[in-house]
Amino acid sequence: MNKKVYLQDLGLKDYKDTWDYQEVLFKNTVDLKIKNRRGQANEPTPNHFLFVEHPHVYTLGKSGDFANLLISDEELAAKNAKFYKINRGGDITYHGPGQIVGYPILDLDNFFTDIHKYLRFLEEMVILTLAEYGLKAERSEGETGVWLDVGTPFARKICAMGVRASRWVTMHGFALNVNADLGYFDLMIPCGIKDKAVTSLNVELGKQEVDLEEVKQKLQKHFENLFEAELIKQKTEV
């Protein structure tokens, strides 16, 4: 089992361009798995982890309801935002500057073949990271992602998640609000869940801005520990 994971930080990058890049990495891994199983190759399948920030964009998962986007095409353009219907699970979500988006493209045959455990590990990675900032983050039963003050009238989501997996190869991932402009969340029903607030790390800490690189380092550390993986920084190619 190959526990090495190639890490790339793509910086600020268009959502569609990043999605296309994910698809290339995803397809290469799936194709290699098929060749290995057919005896046409005998190579370890690669694993990747992409960090990225996106310009303002709304994405709708396969099971999502378009009605959860509350603005028109004209209003989207006025907000300098884009919209895409995509092939991950989940409903609608927002990505934008000040948010750390992570896309692990892992062959789970290298780790464990359990998609629920995979999601719980991604959540735990974020929960442990937020704990280092003194925040008690939690899961909310029946709702993927990471929340604060679960079970109270003040419950608020700080990290959204939505993944796709085929032949145990994953793509898409998580979006952690660090210095996010929360006004953009008012233009949708986040994840299709009404009456639940959204928050950002800088708001919770009462700071104007939190160091994004510091948060990424903490996420990497907990990812490596949970998945018993070795992250290898790779030069960005896109």
Query: Is the pTM value of this prediction over 0.85?
Result: yes
Annotated ligand binding at 95? The verdict is: yes
Question: Between residues 130 and 238, which one has the greater pLDDT?
Answer: 130
Residue 166 has pLDDT above 80, yes or no: yes
In a domain, 117, yes or no: yes
Residue 8, amino acid: Q
Annotated ligand binding at 160? The verdict is: yes
Residue 191 has pLDDT above 60, yes or no: no
Residue 162's pLDDT is what? 87
Residue 151, amino acid: G
Residue 94 has pLDDT above 70, yes or no: yes
Residue pair 28/237 in contact (Cβ under 8 Å)? The answer is no
Q: Which among 222, 22, 217, 29 has a CA at the least distance from the CA of 103?
A: 22
In a domain, 238, yes or no: no
What CA–CA distances, in Å, run from 122 to 6, 144, 162, 189? 17, 10, 11, 23
Residue 195's pLDDT is what? 62
Q: How many domains does the chain have?
A: 1
Quick one: average pLDDT of 86-96? Answer: 83
Annotated ligand binding at 151? The verdict is: no
pLDDT tier for residue 55 given thresholds of 50, 70 and 90: very high
Number of Cβ within a 10 Å radius of residue 28: 15
Residue 184 has pLDDT above 80, yes or no: yes
Q: Could you tell me the residue range of the domain that residue 46 belongs to?
A: 4-233
Return d(Cα 122, Cα 94) in angstroms, integer.
18
191 is an active site residue: yes
pLDDT tens digits for 22-51? 999 999 999 999 999 999 999 999 999 999
Residue 220 has pLDDT above 80, yes or no: yes
Domain containing residue 10: CATH number: 3.30.930.10
Annotated ligand binding at 173? The verdict is: yes
Annotated ligand binding at 175? The verdict is: yes
Residue 237's pLDDT is what? 59
Q: What percent of the chain has pLDDT over 70?
A: 96
Residue 192 has pLDDT above 60, yes or no: no
Identified catalytic residue from 169, 191, 201, 229: 191
Residue 63's pLDDT is what? 74
Residue 144's pLDDT is what? 84
